[in-house]
Every structure is written in structure tokens, then in C-alpha cells.
Amino acid sequence: MKFLTLNLRHNADRWPERRALVLDMLRAELPDVIAFQEVALPVRQADDIAEALNAALPAGPYRVFFEPKWQPDAWEGIALLSRLPVLAHERLELPGDGGRVAQCIRASFDGTVIDFANTHLHHRPIENESARLPQARRLLEWMARPVEPARRWLLAGDFNTLPGSETIGAVRQYFDSAYRAHHGAEPARTFPTPLVEGWQSYPDGLTIDYIFFDPAGFRVDDARVVGGEPHPGGDPTLYPSDHYGLVAEVSLLAR
């Protein structure tokens, strides 16, 4: 099965032009499940993407599961889009300010129940993990709840922190990064793309987006960066988003 994650950058930064690039990328990949972060609610961004994809799909249309931030006036959130049959959908409100949330869908794949989680952790403070680490720990506690049948987890999102951080270390006590497992190291960066003015001044190593998997439940067959091509019309600054996306292809392991 194929799982893709992408921070959409809301409907900012030339979204009408970027929209076509996002759709082209998704049509080329046709993931079983898509995890989006920074999804704009006023323009129904996740639903709009799903409707455009479904118009060209012969079968297995995407269903949208959107969760806004927990502030009363939230105008953005996260979303999971699934072509797999979905058995349940859950929401988790994360601690701290910023209204951050996580979500999970339980889906069926070849008769096996898979849990797909999606989150977007706080981006501040940049210099320490005082906001993100409690959010990650709360998410991990939530994921560890006993449920029947036993969980097989895939977790994706924008974690807003580097591979060597305490937050990612906490996650890796239970899960491994699909890209790292397949390539031996994380990608050089997942942020920023040339959509961001002055992107050349950002250092290498800004990997803040991840797909994690349960090593006891899955084998990683492929993992790669997507959304790394500019507009084919020749504009070198027009990319699908300010983040690169990630895709992982995994197979089930027998238990």
C-alpha cells in the first residue's frame, strides 16, 4: 500500500497555480491514503482536491476526513484522504497553544486493519522542544491505547523538528522513519522548496516531515521525496508547496 504526506501551505502563495501541480503529483502517485497538513477550511481545500481526483478515477474514490484546529475560530487543520474502506475516524486535541490536533483512520487493506495517523506539531519555539515534545508524547500515549484488533500503525505529518531532536527520538522509541529505513538516512530537506523567497539561504538538513511505520507490522518497499519538480511551463519558483512531500510504499508482515 502507498501512503503520502504533504503540507499544503493552505491556499496561500499562488494556490490557484499550485493546485494543478498538487493534483498532477497525486494523480501520478494515486496513494491509498494521503495525509495533508495546513489545509484551508474556507476554500474546502481537501474536498476540492478529492473531488478533482475522483472525477478521473475509474474506481475507489477518495473519502475526506478533515479535522480543524481546536480553537473556536479555526480556519485550517489537517486531513486524511482514503481510497481504502474506512472503519473508524478519531480526533485528538494536542496540549499547548496553537490548537494543534492529530487524527486517525482505521482502514481495511486486504482484510487487515491498518491505523493511519496524521498530525502537525507546533512550529515554535524553534530553539527547543518545549511545545513539540509534550504534543508528541500525548500522541504516542493515544496511539498506545489497547484496541482490538491490535494496531498496525503508519504515522505521517509535519513534525516541525529535525531528525536528531528529542521529539523525533521519542517517536523512534516505537516507530521508524520509512525514508530512513529504506535509504539509511533522512532526505537532505523537506523544507523549503523554491516557492519560498530566499530559499537558497536555508541550510541543508531541514527535514521536518516524516512517515513513520511500525517495524513489526510493515516492510518498507520504497520511500521517496515527491513534489520536487517546478512548474513545467518554466517558472522555477512555482512548486506544489513550500514543503516537499514524502511517499512510502509498504507491505504487511505476518504476525
Is the pLDDT assigned to residue 136 strictly greater than 90?
yes
What pLDDT is recorded for position 22?
97
Number of folded domains that form the chain? 1
For the residues 17-25, what does the mean pLDDT come to?
96
What pLDDT is recorded for position 152?
95
Phi, psi at 230, each rounded to 5°: -75, 175
What residues have CB less than 8 Å from 23, skipping those under 6 apart? 49, 52, 53
> What is the rounded distance in angstroms from the CA atom of residue 205 to the CA atom of residue 190?
8
For residue 144, the domain's CATH number is 3.60.10.10
Q: If you average pLDDT over every residue of the chain, what do you get?
A: 95
What pLDDT is recorded for position 203?
81
pLDDT band at 100 (very low <50, low <70, confident <90, very high): very high
Instruction: Indicate the range of 43-47, 99-103, 202-206 predicted with least confidence.
Output: 202-206
Phi, psi at 21, each rounded to 5°: -70, -40
The predicted-structure confidence for 103-112, as pLDDT tens digits, reads as follows 999 999 999 9
pTM equals 0.97
**CB 195 within 8 Å of CB 235:** no
What pLDDT is recorded for position 205?
79
What pLDDT is recorded for position 138?
98
**CB 105 within 8 Å of CB 134:** no
For the residues 211-215, what does the mean pLDDT come to?
98
Is the pLDDT assigned to residue 60 strictly greater than 80?
no
Is the pLDDT assigned to residue 241 strictly greater than 90?
yes
**CB 101 within 8 Å of CB 57:** no
For the residues 90-101, what does the mean pLDDT come to?
96
How far, CA to CA in Å, does 36 sit from each of 18, 74, 194, 221?
A: 15, 16, 20, 22
| DSSP H or E run through 33 | strand 33-40
Q: Which domain holds residue 214?
A: 2-252
Q: In the sheet that 2-7 helps form, which strands lie side by side, from edge to edge?
A: 63-68, 76-82, 33-40, 2-7, 245-252, 218-226
- Matching residue, cell 512510502: 248
